[in-house]
Amino acid sequence: MAQISVTNLTFNYEGSFDNIFENVSFSIDTDWKLGFIGRNGKGKTTFLNLLLGKQEYQGTIHASTVFDYFPYKVPRENLKISAAEFIDEWKTGCEQWRVICELDKLGVEAEVLYRPFGTLSHGERTKVMLAVLFSGENDFLLIDEPTNHLDQDSREILKKYLSAKKGFILVSHDRDLLDACVDHVLVLNRQSIEVQAGNFSSWWENKNKKDNFSKMENEKHLKEIAKLKQAADRSARWADKNEGTKIGFDPSKEPDRCISTRAYIGAKTKKMQSRVKAYETRISREITEKEGLLQDIENPAELKIMPLTHYKKVLISANEYGLKYADSENWLFKNLRFELQKGERVFLNGANGCGKSSLLQAVIDHCAGEDSDSNKLARGILQEQGRLETAAGLVISYVNQDTSFLRGSIKAFCKDRELEESLFCALLRQLDMERVQFEKNIEEYSEGQKKKVLIAASLMTPAHLYIWDEPLNYIDIFSRMQIEKLILSYKPTMLIVEHDVRFREQIATKIVAL
């Protein structure tokens, strides 16, 4: 067992006004299974890059271990050859027999090593990379969001696999995975960093208790400060009034006064003024004790959505329906039957490649005009059998799982989608995006921030039906909870593909298996 010690770490990107980390200090053990939690843009991937020595920083990071990072980079030319031909580029001295042993634990046949890497599914690529990652010895592994684009079965396999390992930092927004795989958490709070034993749920329970205590303490301090300010104000006014009567009086009007009264009043005034100073000292102490109490509390804004109400009860109906690509002999699925009624939230469930995204595309194509450039049915790219019916005049708001098409400024994005820019930016702020991001082009955003752009655009688009294709890839845990609360409050009609188990358990009214 060794330790990784971080002392007074300070880092910011060139040209940025704010530090990502400022005088951060903590220690972790290399035999921990460490979950790394934080909002999008807080610096999780940045910290992993600092461990890898990819950026200059102030302070010290002391580690006597070798780091390795997932996901590995795959140059375009390597997509045409097998992983067996280039895994040594990922991990020097990597032995194939060790990789094959790890693949077996991940439920994958060794033949995936010998197929062109570009022909592998997202799940197969992830498993090959993880098998290479864990084929070494004594490395401390940095695993950055391994579940993105993985179906539920693959996530279950990954969960079981990682729970049997140790010596890694796992960046993930999947609450189910974090609960199953980690024994410590490293949390990037709003203003601080903490290391705690346990998994996500135990940390979240402790955080809620701590936040509630901080709120109660804050209320107590605020009441005490208000009382002290009132008392100080009364005493100050009494002292000022009496100070003014200390010199000069009319004997005919105040026959009971004499010159010695001046000393008495002066003494009382001085005593009252010292009492005011004591109140002010106590007020200052109360304010000091209050500072920092609420700095790490998550108070997500209440999001809003503007669903339209359709006159029909059934919005989508499929009967003996099937889909295939024109250049393939195999059907993605056949004989599908389901209905989506107004107010339902239907989740499509199934393995990668079973046709979930294609079914979403077919629904969109049925609602779009045949002249639409994106209509794959009209262009013959997708072929169907059976019956798929959509309600007439159905307005759809769509979130694509792909973000690679996002380019340009927020202003241009809003103009293209006919969105009010100020409202759109306000919504992104509610999703905890910093204002400084609005000055950048969208292609410079992190993947999580790009997803928030698409989700915000969807929320601002009035629609009868919201079709979301893996909307939560890269989205942080706190924003996921925020979106869950929104959907449960407004109950929009939705057709969703999403593999986050906790999200589906909270949101789904019906699950359709492909």
Residues 271 and 257 in one domain: yes
> What pLDDT digit, counting tens, does each position of 374-418 carry?
778 878 888 999 999 999 999 999 999 889 899 999 999 999 999
DSSP 119: G
Residue where a domain terminates, one of 149, 173, 206: 206
Q: Give the tens place of pLDDT for each residue, 278-317.
A: 767 776 776 666 666 555 555 666 788 889 999 999 999 9
Regarding whether 463 and 363 lie in a shared domain, the answer is: yes
C-alpha angle 481-498-109 in degrees, rounded to nearest 5: 130
Whether 224 is in a domain gets the answer yes
> What pLDDT sits at residue 13?
78
- Report the chain's mean pLDDT, rounded to a whole number: 86
pLDDT(26) > 70? yes
Find all residues with CB under 8 Å of 175, minimum gap 6, and list them: 200, 201, 477, 480, 500, 502
Q: How many domains does the chain have?
A: 3
Which strand (E) or helix (H) includes residue 124?
helix 122-133
438 and 452 share a domain?
A: yes
- Tokens representing 170 are 């796992």
Instruction: Say if 307 falls within a structural domain.
Output: no
pLDDT at 245: 56
Does 340 or 190 have the greater pLDDT score? Answer: 340
pLDDT of the residue at 52: 92
Domain C-terminal end among 206, 221, 254:
206
Question: Residue 295 falls within a domain, yes or no?
Answer: no
Distance CA 512, CA 349 (A): 6
Asked whether the predicted pLDDT for residue 348 surpasses 80, the reply is: yes
Classify residue 300: in a domain, yes or no.
Answer: no
**What's the pLDDT at 289?**
64
**Do residues 102 and 243 both lie within one domain?**
no
Do residues 142 and 283 share a domain?
no
Q: Sorting pLDDT into bands at 50, 70 and 90, what band is 62? A: very high
Domain residues for the domain of 126 are 3-206
Q: Domain check: are 135 and 158 in the same one?
A: yes
The C-alpha atoms of residue 168 and residue 166 are separated, in whole angstroms, by: 6
Question: What percentage of the chain reaches a pLDDT higher than 90?
Answer: 55
In a domain, 41, yes or no: yes
Asked if residue 261 belongs to a domain, the reply is yes
Q: What share of the chain is helix, strand, coil (3-state, %, to 5)?
A: 40, 20, 35
Asked if the structure places residue 475 within a domain, the reply is yes
Q: Are residues 455 and 423 in the same domain?
A: yes
CATH number of the CATH domain containing 398: 3.40.50.300
Better-predicted residue by pLDDT, 363 or 14: 363
- Kindly state whether residues 198 and 251 are assigned to the same domain: no
Tens of pLDDT, residues 221-278: 777 767 767 766 777 676 666 655 555 455 555 555 555 555 555 666 667 677 767 7
Query: Both 329 and 226 in a single domain?
Result: no
Residue 417 within any structural domain of the chain: yes
Whether 137 has a pLDDT exceeding 60, the answer reads yes
Nearest to 108 by CA among 155, 157, 170: 157
The reply to whether 163 and 217 lie within a common domain is: no
Whether 325 shows a pLDDT value over 70: the answer reads yes
What per-residue confidence (pLDDT) applies to 452?
94
Which phi and psi angles does 263 have, rounded to 5°? -65, -40
- Nearest Cα to 462, choosing from 415, 397, 383, 372? 397
Q: What pLDDT is stored for residue 220 in this prediction? A: 77
117, two tokens: 């890497």
Position 377 scores a pLDDT of 83
Task: Answer yes or no: is pLDDT of 349 > 60.
Answer: yes
Domain termination site, one of 255, 290, 325:
290
Query: What pLDDT does residue 424 have?
Result: 93
Q: Are 457 and 403 in contact (CB under 8 A)?
A: no
- Does residue 268 share a domain with residue 238? yes
Tell me the average pLDDT across 329-345: 94
| 353 shares its domain with 488 | yes
